[in-house]
A and B are shown apart, each in its own frame.
Chain A
Amino acid sequence: MLLAFPILLPLLTAIVLQLLPHRPKLLRLVAFAGALGILIAAIVILVRVESRGIQVLQIGSWPAPFGITLVADLFSALLLLMVGILGSVITGHSFSGVDPRREAFGYHALIHVLLMGVAGAFLTGDIFNLYVWFEVMLIASFVLMSLHRTRPQLQGALTYVGLNLLASAFLLTAIGLLYGQAGTLNFADLARAWPERRTAALDATLSMLFLTAFGIKAGLFPLFFWLPASYHTPPAAVGALLAGLLTKVGVYAMIRVFTLLFPDPSGRMYALVLVLSVTTMVVGLIGAIGQGDFRRVLSFNLVGHIGFTTIGLALGTPAALAASMLYMLHHMLVITSLFLISGWFLRQRRTTELSALGGLYRTQPGVALLAMVPIFSLAGVPPLSGFIGKLAVITAALSGEHYWVAAIALSVSLLTVLSMGRLWDAAFWKPAPTPSAPRLRPAIIAPVGALVVLTLVLTVFAGPAFDLSKRAAVQLLNVDAYVRAVMGNRG
């Protein structure tokens, strides 16, 4: 029953939010409380998985593979924890004010529908169910993106909607072909049945279809172009939530499906994933250098660093997967706080164009120093969490004797330092072009503060966190244990 809470809680919260009278303070409070509930459920699940192994819930008591199964292993539980954390931070951010027109049209309920979709995608043990959660989360994000209907938002939303629907069509095609050959949709049952039924041609087709579908959603080169074309348009809190959670769902789905269905790490497909990951890093960060908008710099950085999270899958060793997981946790915290910081400038200067920003270090040095943590953490400046994550990825590449990967990852880190340094200079250090700007209030700083504290916690406790992700990686690669946990004795 426990596993259903992260899905049921946001659903109930969304329904309650729609029924409540339209009083902003009340709505914000209920939304925040609901998100805290998800966080608590996620912590309980993580503790339970850590102490008792993989947790399984057969919905309606239908035994797998006939019903829908919810499964939480350490990887799922860790990401679920991030859903709780980011959900709480984003709903907490709305106390600093939400555009009244958005609030009137169900902004808070939509945030919870989005959280439900993401939590469902992380928990499900059924590939068609995964598709359904993808759609839930996409529809919520479509509406969140286009609610206000200013021209840039509509233009951004159009690109976003078109490409994501294309990805969904690819995913559904792959699922249909997979079912036709394997006769089952349950992940565990697939992992058991697929090795006997796979044919080389279908294997290649399916892995390419899954790679395309999840690659579009995750933002891998050459499929990422929708992301920087749209993520700079929604309100800061929505952008932060999309950046922090949605692309990671694509990465998660890729890792889950590939480790279960295509567990042969010497396959050509993994070589392709490796090349794509590395190209994503290079193209993303070169793209970031030429941008003149705070959020577009972030979008390209988001794309670039997705490469670090898929390298683990491509290298296929437990150490590499663990490094990618650690990097993923760090990146979710940091990129969310950076998108929230872009909201400061929207509030202060009404735009995030770098040419219009500046001077924050002079007017509010404490706030600027707070922002320095995520900026330098993303850049990978020691001793912050980004440095530790990058170090882990590069060490894993070196121990796998992929020296060129390590070399490129290092030079990409340099590019990140360059682009983050530029961001810091343009937004905080250089004199402001227009002198008068309202001071930032604590309500809008606090959510970033919370994320900064968590980033520092991840930095200080990087050792235990890395151990945890190492165990998660070992569990992820142990397909037999997953199958036994889900299928019981019939496995």
Chain B
Amino acid sequence: MELLLAVVAGVLYGTGFYLMLRRRLAQLIIGLGLLSNGTNILIFAAAGVTRGQPPLVGGAGVTAASLADPVPQSLILTAIVIGFGVLAFSLVLSHRVQASVGSDDIDAIGPAPSVHIGETATSDS
């Protein structure tokens, strides 16, 4: 099970980094999403997987050692929530960038020039 999770995490990291190195904004965002999911699985695999036992809920004859560790699960839950929020923000941001520049090619977007106040803000789209 750990091996499977490790391979999945590796594939997600690999595809995530590959997509982040591509030139289109959408690929950058998807890459970020894959990367954060890869991290979640990595946390799960690194902390060790306990099969068939929930965390915290014990019964007769269940020792603490045989229960699943609740900490990695709560870490992942937190990371998923944060990752979701961040992903939503990056989607909106990249949509705005695309609307403002008129392209989703990172090379066409280019580096930020000096600011001149009085320039019109991008119109709502």
B15 contacts chain A at the CB level, 8 A cutoff: no
B89 in complex: contacting residue of A148, A159, A161, A179, CB < 8 Å: A161
Contact indicator A179/B71 (Cβ below 8 Å): yes
State the CA gap A233–B119 with chains docked (Å): 13
State the CA gap A491–B121 with chains docked (Å): 57
A353 in complex: contacting residue of B75, B109, B114, B118, CB < 8 Å: B114
Inter-chain contacts of A149 with B (CB < 8 A): 96, 100, 121-122
Inter-chain contacts of B75 with A (CB < 8 A): 128, 175-176, 179
Q: How many A residues are at the interface, by size bracket?
A: 35 or more
Inter-chain contacts of B79 with A (CB < 8 A): 172
Question: Which A residues between 98 and 151 are near B, CB-CB below 8 angstroms?
Answer: 101, 128, 132, 135, 138-139, 142-143, 146, 148-151
Q: How many contacts between A and B, using CB within 8 angstroms?
A: 132
A84-98 vs B, Cβ < 8 Å mask (1 yes, 0 no): 000000000000000
Q: Count of B residues near A, CB < 8 Å? A: 44
Contact indicator A132/B82 (Cβ below 8 Å): yes
Contact indicator A233/B82 (Cβ below 8 Å): no
Inter-chain contacts of B100 with A (CB < 8 A): 149, 151, 154
State the CA gap A158–B109 with chains docked (Å): 10
A159-173 vs B, Cβ < 8 Å mask (1 yes, 0 no): 101100110110011
A151 in complex: contacting residue of B35, B39, B117, B119, CB < 8 Å: B119
Which residue of chain A has its CB nearest to the CB of B106?
A158
B94 in complex: contacting residue of A135, A152, A158, A353, CB < 8 Å: A158
State the CA gap A151–B118 with chains docked (Å): 12
B50 contacts chain A at the CB level, 8 A cutoff: no
Contact indicator A162/B28 (Cβ below 8 Å): yes
9 intermolecular pairs with C-beta atoms under 8 Å apart = A139-B89, A142-B89, A154-B96, A154-B101, A158-B25, A177-B46, A180-B46, A346-B117, A352-B115
Which residues of B pack against A, CB within 8 Å? 16, 20, 25, 28, 32, 35-36, 39, 42-43, 45-48, 71-72, 75, 78-79, 82, 85-86, 89-90, 93-94, 96-97, 100-101, 109-122
